[in-house]
Amino acid sequence: MRRTVTVTLGVVLLLLLFAPFSDFSLGVQGDEPFQVHLPVVANRPSRIAFVSVPPYAPTAEIYVMYADGTEVTRLTHHWAADEAPAWSPDGRRIAFVSGRDEGYGQIYVMNADGSAVTHLTYALMGDAAPAWSPDGREIAFVSHRDGNSEIYVMNADGARQTRLTNNPAWDDYPAWSVDGRRIAFMSDRDGNAEIYIMNADGAGVTRLTNNRAGDYDPAWSPDGRKIAFVSDRDGNRQIYVMNADGMEQSNLTNNQSLDQDPAWSPDGRRIAFTSDRDFLPTIYAMNADGTGQTRLTPNDPFDNGSMPAWGP
Ligand SMILES: [Ca+2]
Ligand SMILES: [Ca+2]
Ligand SMILES: [Ca+2]
């Protein structure tokens, strides 16, 4: 009996002694033995932040996943709605809109892992649609603080909140050009929703679309040449793309469902968007020419996703 115990103990000790070494030898005999020990930032896939209402939860929360739809991680945990995520250019922070303090939306920022939530705006009537400038120093956003929807800009820490548009119309959906010199936005100042661009100081407003349908939500391509946007000119909301001067407007999605919220991948080859073609809104991505439309969030009847923001 005693000998059996001793032998068993000896075997356990031997296993404990050699376990680290066997792990090590397994590691060095693998195909890429040292990859797990080195920073792999250069090979890290890009990430998509998005909004989803979890099962049995009262409101929307912000999630992040890799661009292939894997490793979905929840970032916010609050009974109030959290939505409209926008990446800082370095991928380290996410601006978003939350009703957690005032009950109506205000702009917040958090680290990309959901920590260090900071409250940036406190306006009456609420703020929305944060969009980070390409140099990371400023955030454009929408506010109703002066009586109607206008585009504003502030430093990324919330300082120097400045109005850029001054028009009784609905002005919304700011999107920076990659060189930081211009902001595309939507306005119905000429009778219905159209896409406009202006200089980053609010001057030089130029209309890019001109039709009787609604045109919304511009998104500048990373090379600065194209603007994706949403239009219901063909009967329901679809994703379109045009040159940055408004020429060559073409349809990328063409179906009976609602497709919206276009967001370019950092390499400009793909566009993520929200589609309700599977009943609930979910995140899709397609090639920049509209081909290869694939669902990213799981094909589960309870899964839903919207407002994708494609980060580095
Ligand atoms: Ca929430
Ligand atoms: Ca306005
Ligand atoms: Ca229009």
Structure tokens at 56: 């049995």
Q: Which residues have CB atoms below 5 A from the ion given as ligand 1?
A: 59, 61, 78, 82
| Whether 103 and 137 share a structural domain | yes
pLDDT given at position 42: 52
Ligand minimally distant from the alpha carbon of residue 208: 3
pLDDT in tens, 64-110: 999 999 999 999 999 999 999 999 999 999 999 999 998 889 999 99
**Residue 21: per-residue pLDDT:** 35
112 and 252 in one domain?
yes
- Alpha carbons 4 and 7: distance in angstroms, whole number: 5
**Quick check: is 43 in a domain?**
no
Close Cβ partners of 228 (under 8 Å, ≥ 6 residues apart): 218, 219, 221, 239, 240, 241, 252, 262, 264, 271
> Ligand 1 centre from 87 Cα, in Å?
18
Confidence check: pLDDT of 199 > 50: yes
Q: What is the CA radius of gyration of the chain?
A: 24
| Residues 52-59, mean pLDDT to the nearest whole number | 88
Residue 215 CA to ligand 3 center (angstroms) comes to: 5
Closest CA to 52 of 281, 292, 286: 281
Domain that holds residue 17: 1-38
Q: 192 CA distance to ligand 3 centroid (A)? A: 5
Residues 15 and 76 occupy one common structural domain:
no
Residue 138 CA to ligand 3 centre (angstroms) = 29
Residue that wins the pLDDT comparison between 23 and 54? 54
Residues 195 and 275 in one domain: yes
pLDDT at 102: 80
132, 113: one domain: yes
- Per-residue pLDDT at 5 exceeds 60: no
The ligand with the least distance to the CA atom of 75 is 1
Cα 98 to ligand 1 centre (Å)? 8
Kindly give the distance from the C-alpha atom of residue 296 to the centroid of ligand 2, in angstroms, as a whole number.
35
**Residue 16 pLDDT exceeds 50:** no
Shared-domain flag, residues 4 and 91: no
At 299 the pLDDT is: 67
Query: Model pTM?
Result: 0.85
How many A from CA of 216 to the centre of ligand 2?
Answer: 15
Closest ligand (CA of 99): 1
26 & 66 share domain: no
Question: Is the model's pLDDT at 182 over the cut of 50?
Answer: yes
The pLDDT confidence band at residue 43, using thresholds 50, 70 and 90, is low
How far does the centroid of ligand 3 lie from the alpha carbon of residue 230, in Å?
10
User: d(Cα 49, Cα 296) in Å, to the nearest integer?
Assistant: 12
